[in-house]
Structure 1
Amino acid sequence: MPDYLDTTTLIDLARRAEVSEPGPCACTKTPLDGWQSQPISLDETQLREIGTLLAESDPEPTFAEYLPGKTTYWSDNAPVAPRYFPYNRCSVWECVSCARLYLRYTEGGGYFVDRRIRALRLALIEDIPL
C-alpha cells in the first residue's frame, strides 16, 4: 500500500507543486478542476502514485461529504476535505513531466466502475474534522 499522506503533508505537496508553475503539458488536455471520469487522452504512464489519503487505521472510511454553500460533488470549487468522501478513498498522483498533482479513486456502482480524477489545488484543501 502507498504511504499515507495526512492533511499537512498533502498541503505541503500541493504548495510545492504550485510553486513550480509548470507550463502546458499533455496531462492538461482535458480540464480536471472538478471530478471527471478519467479521460482516455490521459496517458497512464505519465502519472506516478505518491501516496494515499486512505488511512490504514480507518478500515471503513465515511461516505459523508463536505460540500458547504452551493458546491456540489462536481463543482470546480468544491473543497478538498481529506477526511470526507471521496477524498478519504483517494490516492495522490504526480505527472512525471510537469509535477502537477491529481487525486484519483474508483467509483463503484451496481453495474459499473468509473475511475475518477481531479487536479489538486492548494487553495481548495480544507482540514475539516468529522
Structure 2
Amino acid sequence: MKTDKKLDFEELMQLARESAEVTRSCSCAAESFREWTRIPVSFPNQQMRVAGTLLDDPYTEATYAECHPNGTNYWSVDAPIALRHFPYNRCSLLQCTVCGRCYLSYVEAGGYYVEPRIRELDPRLIVDAECDS
C-alpha cells in the first residue's frame, strides 16, 4: 500500500471535495477522525489505497513547525490542514476503495513508540500558504 505520487494542491482539493460529498455508510467512517487520532485496530486498512503523498522531497527533512493562526492546536477539530507544516508535510493520502472517503495518515514517532495516526480530509480546512503562527 505505497505510492510516491506527490499530490499537488488542485488534486488534493478535488479528492477532498469528492470525499466530503460521500454520504453512504461504510466501515471506514468515524466521527472521531475529524481531528488527529490514533488509527484504531478496528480500522479497515484492507479497504484503503494510497492515493498519493504530501511529502515534497523524501531526502530533505521536512519542518516540524505547525500552523495554528487562530489559536488551534494539533488536536483541534478545526485546526488547519496546512500542507507545508507538520504533520501534513509527512502525510500519505488514503482513500477507501469501498466508499471513496479520504484520510490523511502519518506515523508519529515518539521516544519509545510509533503510532499511526489518521485525520479526515476536510476541504474547508486545507490551506496551502505560509503560516504566521
Runs (5+) with no aligned partner, structure 1: none
Contact persistence 2:33–2:120 (CA under 8 A): yes
Shift of 1:57: 7.0
Contact persistence 1:22–1:100 (CA under 8 A): no
Which residue does 2:11 correspond to in 1? 9
Matches within 5 A, 1:1-130: 1-19=3-21, 21-29=22-30, 31-56=32-57, 59-129=60-130
Contact persistence 2:19–2:121 (CA under 8 A): no
In 1, Cα distance between the equivalents of 2:55 and 2:30?
28
Contact persistence 2:27–2:43 (CA under 8 A): yes
TM-score by length of 1: 0.92
In 2, Cα distance between the equivalents of 1:57 and 1:44?
24
- The 10-residue stretch of structure 1 (73-82 or 29-38) with the greater mean CA deviation from structure 2: 29-38
Contact persistence 1:29–1:41 (CA under 8 A): no
Shift of 1:23: 1.4
TM-score by length of 2: 0.90
Report sequence identity in percent. Answer: 43
CA RMSD of aligned residues (A): 1.6
Secondary structure of 1:26 counterpart: coil
In 2, Cα distance between the equivalents of 1:97 and 1:57?
30
Q: Runs ≥4 in structure 1, deviation > 4 angstroms?
A: none
Contact persistence 1:30–1:39 (CA under 8 A): no
Secondary structure of 2:49 counterpart: strand
**How far does the alpha carbon of each residue in 1:66-117 deviate from its partner, in whole angstroms, 9 at most, with x for none?**
0122211011111101110000000000011110000000000110000000
